């Protein structure tokens, strides 16, 4: 990403993890975790900061109608976290 004053953000680590557990015929658990790291540069290329983005999502449901989707009334747990942190070089 390029900013109007010449600063720019460069992508670094990008990691995504997925996991699904099926306990047939009804129980399903799924989780998703992502971590993205960025480096912030001044217009002259000097590193001036870092940015870390982390997201976690987890869902557990009983698929009572066996359609493979978490429908209303079937979800027993849902958790979603989003964290953004900035740092100095």
- CA–CA separation, 50 vs 86, rounded Å? 6
Please list, in sequence order, all residues whose beta carbon lies within 8 angstroms of the beta carbon of residue 66, skipping any fewer than 6 positions away.
25, 26
pLDDT tens digit string along 43-84? 999 999 999 999 999 999 998 888 878 889 999 899 999 999
- CA–CA separation, 33 vs 81, rounded Å? 10
E strand map for the chain: 8-23, 27-41, 47-62, 75-87
Q: What is the pTM of this model?
A: 0.69
What share of the chain in percent tops pLDDT 70? 100
Contact 51, 86 (CB under 8 A): yes
| Total residues belonging to the chain | 89
């Amino acid at each position: 990403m390029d900013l109007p004053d010449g600063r720019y953000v460069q992508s670094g680590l990008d990691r995504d993890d997925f996991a699904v557990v099926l306990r047939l015929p009804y129980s399903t658990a799924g989780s998703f975790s992502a971590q993205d790291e960025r480096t912030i540069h001044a217009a002259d290329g000097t590193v001036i900061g870092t940015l870390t983005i982390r997201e976690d999502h987890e869902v557990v449901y009983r698929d009572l109608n066996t359609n493979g989707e978490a429908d209303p009334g079937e979800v027993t747990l849902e958790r979603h976290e989003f964290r953004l942190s900035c740092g100095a070089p």
